[in-house]
Amino acid sequence: MEDLELKKKEDGSWKLKLPEGEVANLEQGALAGLARMEVFGLPIGKAAGSILTVMLWDMLRGMISGAIPTAIPQWAIPAIGSWVMTTKTVGGIVGSEIADAAGLILLVDAIQASPLSPRKLLSGVFKGQQLPETERETAEREATISDVADWLKTQ
């Protein structure tokens, strides 16, 4: 009877060769199985696992927030988190697909908090100017004002 053969692959997962010649591929990570869950073709498991991982990062950041100097910009912490998610250690703990998705979420957080955020850059373009109303929007606004005035008269 043959023995079990267990080999570690380059990506960090394990290959298990069973005595009957069958092969089982074992992925690392506590949430690796969750990453395969899909609903109507949408990767719900990957999203849920990555959000859980980002929540754990935020909890860790909250616990050490008193030790973080205030001179560090707000965007730097999620940027560091995004980099940490790409390490093999985190990929081995939660699974590489989950860690990659969590890193992407933290990267978006870092971009939104940075001075180069598209929202911040575009907010200065219009400088409080409003776009002209369409005829429909004008009619709806006037109808709403008259409806409120009529309702107030009946009270």
Domain boundaries, the chain: 30-116
Mean pLDDT over the full length of the chain: 77
> Could you tell me the CA-to-CA distances from 51 to 25, 93, 105, 132 in Å, in that order?
26, 15, 8, 39
- pLDDT at position 8 is 73
> Could you tell me the CA-to-CA distances from 17 to 1, 4, 21, 23, 29 in Å, in that order?
13, 6, 6, 5, 20
- pLDDT at position 150 is 78
- Model confidence, pTM: 0.59
- pLDDT at position 97 is 85
d(C-alpha 96, C-alpha 150), whole Å: 61
- pLDDT > 90 fraction of the chain, expressed in percent and rounded: 5
Tens of pLDDT, residues 62-111:
887 777 777 788 888 889 889 988 887 787 778 888 888 899 999 999 99
Residue 31 has pLDDT above 50, yes or no: yes
- pLDDT at position 133 is 63
Residue 26 has pLDDT above 60, yes or no: no
- pLDDT at position 14 is 65
- Averaged pLDDT for residues 22-49: 75
Structure tokens at 98: 């989950």
Place of tokens 């009946």: 154
Of residues 59 and 123, the one with the higher pLDDT is: 59
- pLDDT at position 1 is 43
Say if CB 19 and CB 2 are below 8 A apart. yes
- Averaged pLDDT for residues 141-147: 73
